[in-house]
Structure 1
Amino acid sequence: MAKPGSITKQILECILNHDLVVANLTELNPNVMYELAVRHSTAKPVITIAEFGTKLPFDITTERTIFYSNDMRGVPKLQKELRSSITSVDFEQPEYDNPIYRAQRDFKFKEATTEGKDAYIIEQLDEIKNMQQYINSFFISRSNYNVNNGGIRLIKVSKKFNLGINALVEFLIKNGYNVEANPNAKISQAAYKLIIENFGTKNNDSVDF
């Protein structure tokens, strides 16, 4: 490189930005291994070559590497294999598989899965809450219900058990009933039975619905 400035910076810029990189792993030069990792972090295409006899680190033993003989016969063969590899590269492909890319992809997948589980749990809790409200609606008669809908008015229960309207409403709400603090509001037999169990006796547990 004839350009003045930091050689390391220029090399890294090329590794990061060029469309294709060929890395020779022969002798496992530490700088080359570092530069290969940098290239892998970009998820861009890289072709690795090494002389026969090179023992690759276990991290990249499963990655495709072109092995060659450093002699007159080996050079033409290496050239042929390089041409074949280069022509097979799809430069339109957004990301290329490599150890670093796979690790990053798996991490993002786990992160997304975890977030998905949290969202699913929240969604299910909301559905349970809605279901509970729906069920409660069967036991609570609103103030605009007529007598044909059944139920007993709060004012009647209040007099029967000598309990204030607000006290009755507070008790029912604590037990899952969404009743209005209205003397004319009606409660179901199930709600009335609950009141009897907590405030009533056998002598005053009969009220006409």
Structure 2
Amino acid sequence: MNERLRKQMDFILEIDKQKEIMRQTYLADGSRKEGDAEHAWHMAVMALLLGEYAKEPVDTLHVVSLVLVHDLVEIDAGDTYAYDSAGNTTKKEREEKAASRIFGILPDDQAEQLRGLWEEFERMDTPESRFANALDKIQPILLNAASNGRSWSEHGVCEGQILRRNCRTPEGAPELWDYAKSLIDAFVEKGIIKKDGFSC
């Protein structure tokens, strides 16, 4: 086997570990929590279907690439729950270190390409990365709503926490955010999400 192919195969086997990383969001039926790889797949399909709702025209394949790559660092860094304030203080450092190791398995050109996709997602400085980030924020709202707010209830999440996390979501997909916000509002009305008066 040539060296390039060996590195590519090593990377493909390494990212199989993403299947073991569990998130706090439940599946739509509430039966169990979703895995990182399931989350990435779900967003890739969303990107294929919902591109027409991006605030700016986007290259769909590029968006799919961003959502498939953006959580690979969690193989080392773990999934940091959106509302874990302590975990979020060390998230950037943990994920930078993970990105260096994981993408470094690849041949140099592909390591640079995938690291670049991960960094672009984090920066939110292109239409594709803003749309990809919107999908990343909206997908757990959809699952939380479908599972009757199970994760929100378990963690005692307030409306303000969700809104703070989503202050930039409309930059990528305002119409999708309006839809997601209507779901949040319904759970505030039900009392499953506590209202605390915060708005962006």
Structure 1 length-normalised TM: 0.21
Kindly indicate which of the two structures has a greater share of residues assigned to strand: 1
- Bigger radius of gyration among the two: 1
Kindly indicate which of the two structures has a greater share of residues assigned to helix: 2
Higher RCO structure, 1 or 2 (CA under 8 Å, sep 6+): 2
Structure 2 length-normalised TM: 0.22
